[in-house]
Amino acid sequence: MPRCAANGIEVEYETFGSPNDPVLLLVMGFTAQITAWEEGFCRMLADGGRYVIRFDNRDVGLSTHLHQAPPVDLVALLRGDTSSAPYRLHDMAADTVGLLDALGLDAAHFVGASMGGTIAQTLAIEQPQRVLSLTSVMSTTGDPEVGQPSAEAMAAILSPPASDRAGAIERAVRAYRVVGSPGFPFDELGVRDRAGRSFDRAHDPAGAMRQLAAVAASGDRTAALRRVTVPTLVIHGRDDIVAAVSGGIATAQAVPEAELLIIEGMGHDLPRALWPQIIDRISRLVERANVD
């Protein structure tokens, strides 16, 4: 995969489809590498006439890891003290702009999942001229009154990191059994494959803590989201226990004229059975935005 300089870091990325088609930039969530946007999903989007770009956020995968940053104080973070956060969502949004600049692209349609949704929201707020449409998937507004994880989800997310490949795979399987979609078959083989490949590419628990701190330190976007004018789609699972469905509802209520799709049986993942429905709704939003 190619790399480029973006916002003072190096970003690993991959493209699918023709650069002559509308650009769709996929932004993944907390600790999730480029491979979390499965290749089949990306190719389905590209086959519908989209130039699809997926990439590693900072501190995961093969993009730059901020190893020299001071350690995050997790205990303080959980108490609401975010002073140890080395960066914010603002900086991660700027990374995506740097990627667009490096590729010579003025703007793109953004699809963000989980933390990726918060990054895409931040970009739509701060640099709306770079955003043609916004799709926020299983994300929230930053308001602590909505979209909060259950105790069970927090235990899965913050379970001790693995020290080896086999442990990383088993940890991922345990976590997705908790936070995945109860209305759809559990793809254990797929989870194992992605977890193994992620471990092989880069294993950095400290980087995960820096990402977690960035989300916690970035505050409530509700008021700012009311100023977003780009065509917006919010997709959320009814059974999401990582970002409760109230977070998706609040996002759609905050953004003027946003569409809201709540999917029964969907948790905090993207089951293969839902790909056609999700891709159809994203494609329809892109088409509407291009007409507008």
The three state secondary structure string of 119-134 is: HHHHHHHHCHHHEEEE
What CATH number is associated with residue 124?
A: 3.40.50.1820
Of 56, 59, 63, 114, which residue is the catalytic one?
114
Percentage of residues in the chain with pLDDT exceeding 70? 100
Q: What is the dihedral of CA 251, 28, 203, 242, to 10 degrees?
A: 30
Of 65, 109, 236, 268, which residue is the catalytic one?
268
Q: Which of 132-146, 150-164, 258-272 has the lowest mean pLDDT?
A: 150-164
**Tens digit of pLDDT for each residue in 91-122?**
999 999 999 999 999 999 999 999 999 999 99
Q: What per-residue confidence (pLDDT) applies to 291?
A: 73
Q: What per-residue confidence (pLDDT) applies to 292?
A: 67
Q: How far apart are CA 251 and CA 262, in angstroms?
A: 12
- 112 has which bridge partners? 27, 136
Q: What is the mean pLDDT of residues 220-224?
A: 98
**Tens digit of pLDDT for each residue in 28-40?**
999 999 999 999 9
234: in domain: yes
**Tens digit of pLDDT for each residue in 70-97?**
999 989 988 999 999 999 999 999 999 9
**Tens digit of pLDDT for each residue in 177-194?**
999 999 999 999 999 999
162: in domain: no
Three-class secondary structure of residue 189 per DSSP:
helix
* pTM (predicted TM-score): 0.96
32: in domain: yes
CA distances from 59 to 167, 169, 201 (A): 20, 19, 12
Q: Could you tell me where the beta strands, DSSP code E, fall in 32-186?
A: 51-55, 108-113, 131-137
197: in domain: no
Continuous segment of H or E residues that includes residue 167: helix 165-179
**Tens digit of pLDDT for each residue in 18-29?**
999 999 999 999
Q: What are phi and psi of 111, to 5 degrees?
A: -125, 115
- Total number of domains constituting the chain: 1
Continuous segment of H or E residues that includes residue 107: none
Of 56, 91, 143, 240, which residue is the catalytic one?
240
171: in domain: no
Continuous segment of H or E residues that includes residue 10: strand 9-16
pLDDT classification of 174: cutoffs 50, 70, 90: very high
Longest dimension (CA), the chain: 50
Would residue 164 show up in a list of annotated catalytic residues for this protein? no
104: in domain: yes
178: in domain: no
Q: Which domain holds residue 105?
A: 3-147+205-291
140: in domain: yes
| Structure letter (DSSP) for residue 143 | -
Would residue 292 show up in a list of annotated catalytic residues for this protein? no
- 15 has which bridge partners? 53
Would residue 236 show up in a list of annotated catalytic residues for this protein? no
